[in-house]
Every structure is written in C-alpha cells, then in structure tokens.
Amino acid sequence: MPLLTLKHHTLYYVTDGQLQNPPLLLLHGFLGSHQDFVPLLPALAQHFYCIIPDLPGHGQSIATVGHYGFPETAKALLSLLDFFNLSQTHVLGYSMGGRLALYLACEDSRRCQRVILESASPGLKTAEERLARIKRDQAIARQLETTPLPIF
C-alpha cells in the first residue's frame, strides 16, 4: 500500500503512467478520493506520470488534529513531490482540490508548471460573501455530523 508518512500526515497515493513522462498531480474534491480520477487514468497516463493522493481526511489519508488546513496540506503535498524527487509538476484540481491547487501555485509557483482547474474558483471577493459562505459551510458541517453519509 503506497503511503507517505510525515510528521502530521499519512498520505495514501496511487501512481499511473511512465516515470519519464511529465508529472501530473491530481487533487480531488471534498468527500472525494483518488478513485475519482480512475476513469481518466487510461487517457492521462499515456502522456503524464500521474500522482493521485487521497487528501488528508479523505480516502485512506489522515492528518493529526489541527493539520487539515490548506497551509498544512500544501506542505504535505510538496513533501509528496519531494518524495518523488520532482522539482516541478502540472497540477489538476477539482473543486476543493482546485482551490488547493491555486493555493499551491500561489505559495510556490516554481513547483507548479501548469495548473488546471475544474469547478474551482479563487474564492469570494467581499466580506459579506465570505460570511454567507461560512454560515452555509457551518450548516453543511452540522448536517454531516448528524446525517449518515449515504443519506447526505
């Protein structure tokens, strides 16, 4: 089972493609896992060396309490790239994974050769929009805590 154990994270990941191909880091969305990209791998792996982690708290990856945020997750992903001895990669992010891809690119643009976003945005412009999103996200979090996942 491919696992990378770090100080605050244990990242499960899968790879596909030839190592000599350009690397492509694929980041799934909220409540997803590496499995979300399986249907795309036959096409992508012809051209890229695909690295697909389960993000912390998803699939088989975990993080210690207080280390689930974007800064901590970005550091863990950079450690995953270091593990593969990659100074640069293309990044494809879906939804929350897209936001994380943008965060990575802003934090260390030298590591991200290209960033491809699917159903992602850089965030909300106004404080009012952000407050409304926080309230909505908190309501969803309460629902997740009290509703069985298949029903959610």
Alpha carbon distances (Å) from 48 to 16, 34, 41, 130:
8, 16, 9, 36
Report how far residue 95's alpha carbon sits from residue 105's, in angstroms, rounded to the nearest whole number: 15
pLDDT confidence of residue 48:
98
pLDDT confidence of residue 106:
94
Whether the full predicted model's pTM is greater than 0.75, yes or no, is: yes
Token representation of residue 115: 């960033």
pLDDT at 103 > cutoff 80: yes
Report how far residue 46's alpha carbon sits from residue 152's, in angstroms, rounded to the nearest whole number: 36
Report how far residue 12's alpha carbon sits from residue 3's, in angstroms, rounded to the nearest whole number: 5
